Amino acid sequence: MSKFIAKPATSLSGNLKIPGDKSISHRSIMLGSLASGVTKVKGFLEGEDALSTLKAFQAMGVKIEREGDNVTIHGVGINGLKKPLKALDLGNSGTSIRLMSGILAAQDFDCELHGDESLSKRPMGRVINPLTKMGAVIESNDNGKPPLRIKGSQKLKGIKYDLPVASAQVKSCVLLAGLYADGETCVTEPAPTRDHTERMLKGLGYDVRVNENQMCLTGGGELTATEIQVPSDISSSAFFMVAAAIAPQADVTLTGVNVNPTRTGVINILQLMGANLTLSNEREIGGELLADIRIQSSELKGIKIPEQLVPLAIDEFPAVFIAASCAQGETTLTGAKELRVKESDRIQVMADGLNILGIENEVLEDGIKIQGGVFQNPAQMIESHHDHRISMSFAIASLRCDYPIEINGVDNVMTSFPNFVALANSAGMNITEI
């Protein structure tokens, strides 16, 4: 088990290139594998989560070549996957297991999906339920937890599904199953969620009909190979946005970041808090929006986070909690119950760490209240519970701390941001992994 020792630092500067978007990297492998022809991907995230997806499709007979962040996928067509020789190990990746369940529910072979200790605790009923309505047969452990055993040769039918909770993973799972279903599959979401699946399906030539909060497609079509450019991940960028905003001296530019409007909640929230944050060089590449983001030292103030921004920033809240800890006044988050079923219970785990750093907070059923203050000398090590976003969030707190912060269980940072420590130190931080 590894840990970070984040020593005090006060300045942050430089032009930084954040690794590729994790969500888009996953989808490029899945859809590129199901396409006819050769799909070339540039900027692929070399983190363990995305590599779990890559290895799973290799195990199902897809030839995939990788040189650094350049990936070449020799697509087998929508019906070309082969039965893997053994259960597919998806590591820590919730995106992999949920999206792939939609694809595998329609194959003519049985398969089993499992993962690490953390993934084995995450709820899968949210994808099992709609897939079962479509005709899939899926067995799981008690309470719908992995491993998932998916029975092949089931004839799926299109459904109209209203998402009970805004979730891009569930929406994508149902749409991917819909590729194989008889008739039309429609998903209606209660609030906007990231739309990378819809964008990439369109980019590969599949007709996806979007009408406000409803997405529909008809099964039986084909995907055509293309070239995909993966922009920098806004979720990973969020750590450096917050780091620069809270640092006493900072001027950082993050280049080529994905600013898809379904992902920019963290930018909106930080600007509402008074962050000195601007976007420039906005452009579109491969159907995705990119921009350079400049962040300088800021005087942050506490806010009530608008609930409509919650689904647009769901993965970035651990970093936002650090910003709230350094802000003047109270920050309140509600409507974020989804945070309790991520890699960890991110509300409770962040609250525990903030308590160790002397930051007053109140845990709510669906959120948290945080009183801005001053980080105190931590009397004990902070436990990340093997959650990569918890680990990185407390590491950036060192920019406003007079004492070293020790964070335990940081091994899973490799899942999403393998060069986090090197990049942070190059910009002026002082983090050691031991």
For the chain, list the domains and their CATH numbers: 3-20+231-433 (3.65.10.10), 22-229 (3.65.10.10)
Alpha helices in 276-372 (DSSP H): 317-325, 346-356
The band of 428, judged by pLDDT with boundaries at 50, 70 and 90, is very high
Q: What is the mean pLDDT of residues 101-125?
A: 95
Span 249-294, pLDDT tens digits: 999 999 999 999 999 999 999 999 999 999 999 998 878 999 999 9
Average pLDDT over residues 215-239: 97
Any residues with CB less than 8 A from the CB of 140 and at least 6 apart, and which? 124, 125, 128, 146, 147, 148, 149
**What's the rounded mean pLDDT across residues 230-244?**
97
Residue 427 has pLDDT above 80, yes or no: yes
Cα–Cα dist 399/376, whole Å: 13
Residues 6+ positions from 67 with CB-CB distance below 8 Å: none
With bands split at pLDDT 50, 70 and 90, how would you rate the model's confidence at 341?
A: confident
Does residue 395 surpass a pLDDT of 90? yes
Task: Report the percentage of the chain scoring pLDDT > 70.
Answer: 100
- d(Cα 242, Cα 389) in Å, to the nearest integer? 13
Q: What is the per-residue pLDDT across 168-186, written as a single tens digit (0 to 9) for each?
A: 999 999 999 999 999 999 9
In this prediction, residue 148 carries a pLDDT of 98
* Average pLDDT of the segment spanning 5-13: 97
Q: Judge whether residue 167 has pLDDT over 90.
A: yes
The pTM for the full model equals 0.91
pLDDT reading at 48 higher than 90 = yes
Residue 430 in this model has a pLDDT that exceeds 80? yes
Q: pLDDT tens for residues 61-82?
A: 999 999 999 999 999 999 999 9
Q: Is the pLDDT confidence value at 417 over 80? A: yes
Q: Residue 143 has what pLDDT?
A: 84
Please state, as a whole number, how many other Cβ atoms lie within 10 Å of the Cβ of residue 302: 20
Among 49, 89, 116, 315, the active-site one is: 315
User: What pLDDT is attached to residue 287?
Assistant: 82
* 1 has a pLDDT exceeding 80: no
> Of 183, 235, 308, 297, which is closest to residue 49 (Cα–Cα)?
235
- Any catalytic annotation for residue 315? yes
Q: Is 170 exposed, middle or buried (0-12, 13-18, 19+ CB in 10 A)?
A: buried
**What is the rounded distance in angstroms from the CA atom of residue 135 to the CA atom of residue 55?**
27
For the cut 80, the answer to whether the pLDDT of residue 193 exceeds it is: yes
Amino acid at 217: L
Q: What is the pLDDT of residue 142?
A: 80
* pLDDT given for residue 88 in this prediction: 98
Average pLDDT of the chain is 96
